[in-house]
Amino acid sequence: MAILTKYFPILAVFNRYEKADFRGDLNAGLTVGVMLIPQGMAYAMLAGMPPVYGLYAALVPLFIYGFMGTSRQLAVGPVAMISLLVIAGVGAFAEPGSDKFIQLAFLTAFGVGLTQFLLGAFRMGFLVNFLSHPVLSGFTSAAAIIIGASQIGSLLGISLPKTSFVPEILYHFTQQIAQINPVTAFIGIGSIIIMQVLRSWKRAFPSALAVVVIGTIFTVVFGLHEKGLRIVGDIPTGLPSFGLDWFNTSELTALIPLILVISLVGYMESIAVAKAIASKVGYRVDPNQELIALGTANIGGSFFQAFPTTGGLSRTAVNYQAGARTGVASIISAVVIGLTLLFLTPLFYYLPSAVLAAIIMVAVTSLFDFKAMKHLWKTDRRDLALFGITFLATLGLGIEEGIAVGVVVTLVMVIYQSSVPHSAELGRLGDSRTYRNLSRYPNAIQFDDILIFRFDSQLYFANTDYFRDAIEASLLKRTQPVNFIILDASAITGIDSTGMHTLEKMIEDYSKKGVQILIASAIGPVRDTLKRCGLMQVIGEDNFYFDIDHAVRAIQDESVAGVHYEVTQTNL
């Protein structure tokens, strides 16, 4: 039973489920289900697929996640960013909207699900750390502009190229301004205004459904579809059918780059909002189980004609505000979608495409992270540069290329930072036993014949040259000869073979110059490593000290002995 509740957390919920929980879940489930109907169709259109596939993608994945997810409020389904990735990635292999395109979208969902499931099963969720917050914010902000630009044609009733390059879209737009359909523009822009007003009045109000109803009624009453207004048209009635005819190993291999991007971006978007809500409510989200749940949801969805899905920010916020207590809310939302597919799809025949475009444009306004830019400007210009590089690369090079550039630049920065870590020469504060960075505490006492040096990183192949150069630079600043170097090793978390070789060579070289190296505050794992490689014997066990003050007193008073450590093979 414990294993079942681990992979199906909702089973544990049923053991303590109360009427108050059901009331909250019912209200939230109905609210999100109603919200998902127009959103799902809009995001399917953004993904280059007929609107009904948005309802398919909102059905099975949401139902599966309700049973397997550890977040009690996360609302899984189609989202704008993943839809954009689908049309950008799959569009390179097939014409958007074609049968081949649709099959490849199902195959992509399967690949995304399999990747996420395996990442969770092997507890490799840490890989998403390579998508740092500045990279993700820069990417989503650029994606918001691309998504918004891609909907201009549908919003205004003109034909624009299906591309992710904003300058190309804007160029063609300027060439066709005179061809804007007034009726379409009125419906599209009017829908945006209505949604913004409703959202400012009450955020949880289903504003998207409201403009769907208003737009459809206007179209029918005034016959706007006969005046050039494009409508959705026939939407198949009935639940999605099971199928595997889209599966193709060679095509799956070709889609791997896209699959990896969607897997990581989708998980990052999902886990970020899930953790934010969980911290407010007061429970913990299991990152690896979330990967398994999302992966299973995408795999199951692909069998029933769904394109890739993940947790949506706006829907999750509404789910939380509407009172969702458990995953039952997601199951209720899925039931609402199912009933819509069975009985209500004919009602959307006269739904204007401009309304769906307006829904998308309003939804993506929250993706542009202006707040992150302001915060990074004040706190970390390096991360702001990373944000800007990813933002510009996504706009200028493309969706997948932009996020790839962001990840590569992140890795380069991580490598650079680890190869040039912080270090400091220390001095004593007055008569105390406290030692601090001399550059921050210029009044700290500096001993004439002792250099106290702290290195704030593991000592490994990438930074050994910097380690040696930094100590040498500190020695060169001295006006008097130094006889002792005390290495404060409290911040050295590990040492590899290159680091050990460098340290041994330094001991040998400085010994010839009459300079002795002492080690203070070395943590257990580092001492274990030095013991195993024989370097502790080279340095001398009596030259290891509990702290800096102990080492200083040993130098000043030869009667003070070093510390003999009982070195173990543990990491404690």
20 or 57, which is more confident = 57
- Residue 339 makes CB contacts below 8 A (sequence gap 6+) with none
Asked whether residue 497 falls in the same domain as residue 398, the answer is no
Asked whether residue 357 falls in the same domain as residue 429, the answer is no
369 pLDDT above the threshold of 80:
no
The pLDDT value given to residue 238: 95
Separation CA 165–CA 141 (nearest Å)? 14
199 pLDDT above the threshold of 50:
yes
- Residue 370 makes CB contacts below 8 A (sequence gap 6+) with 141
Q: Which residue has the tokens 């989503």?
A: 140
Asked whether residue 41 falls in the same domain as residue 145, the answer is yes
Separation CA 271–CA 71 (nearest Å)? 9
Separation CA 256–CA 94 (nearest Å)? 16
Type of residue found at 491: A
Q: Which of 538, 545, 531 is CA-nearest to residue 506? A: 538
Asked whether residue 87 falls in the same domain as residue 42, the answer is yes
Asked whether residue 108 falls in the same domain as residue 216, the answer is yes
Cα distance between the two ends of the chain: 35
Type of residue found at 99: D
Type of residue found at 396: G
The pLDDT value given to residue 2: 65
How many CA atoms are closer than 13 Å to the CA of 552, on its beta-carbon side?
A: 21
Q: How does DSSP assign 371-418, residue by residue?
A: HHHHHHHHH-HHHHHHHHHHHHHHHHH-HHHHHHHHHHHHHHHHHHHH
Q: Which of 432, 407, 429, 423 is CA-nearest to residue 468? A: 423
CA distances from 171 to 167, 200, 352 (A): 6, 33, 25
Asked whether residue 457 falls in the same domain as residue 475, the answer is yes
Domain boundary among 381, 413, 445: 413
Type of residue found at 267: Y
Domain boundary among 359, 384, 413: 413
In a domain, 396, yes or no: yes
Structure tokens at 179: 């061809």
Separation CA 433–CA 224 (nearest Å)? 83
Q: Which of 120, 1, 105, 2 is CA-nearest to residue 50? A: 105
Structure tokens at 365: 């306004």
Asked whether residue 409 falls in the same domain as residue 529, the answer is no
CA distances from 519 to 54, 310, 343, 419, 458 (A): 63, 51, 76, 22, 15
Q: Which of 272, 370, 252 is CA-nearest to residue 74? A: 272
Separation CA 379–CA 152 (nearest Å)? 36
Q: Which domain holds residue 168?
A: 15-413
The pLDDT value given to residue 569: 41
Mean pLDDT on 253-269: 92
The model's pLDDT over 2-41, given as tens digits with 9 standing for 90+, comes to 677 777 888 888 778 888 889 999 999 998 998 899 999 9
Q: How many CB atoms lie within 10 A of CB 21?
A: 18
Asked whether residue 469 falls in the same domain as residue 343, the answer is no
Would you give the DSSP letter of residue 231?
Answer: B
Asked whether residue 408 falls in the same domain as residue 537, the answer is no
In a domain, 23, yes or no: yes
392 pLDDT above the threshold of 50:
yes
User: Nearest 5°: phi and psi at 521?
Assistant: 60, 30
The pLDDT value given to residue 280: 83
Which ranges of 223-352 would DSSP assign to H, the alpha helix?
249-254, 256-281, 287-303, 313-321, 328-339
Asked whether residue 433 falls in the same domain as residue 404, the answer is no
Structure tokens at 521: 């505050």
pLDDT band (50, 70, 90) for residue 435: very high
474 pLDDT above the threshold of 70:
yes
Structure tokens at 523: 């943590």
Separation CA 32–CA 122 (nearest Å)? 32
The least confident of 107-121, 292-306, 409-423 is 409-423
Asked whether residue 388 falls in the same domain as residue 284, the answer is yes
293 or 205, which is more confident = 293
Asked whether residue 145 falls in the same domain as residue 47, the answer is yes
Q: How many domains does the chain have?
A: 2
pLDDT band (50, 70, 90) for residue 401: confident
In a domain, 56, yes or no: yes
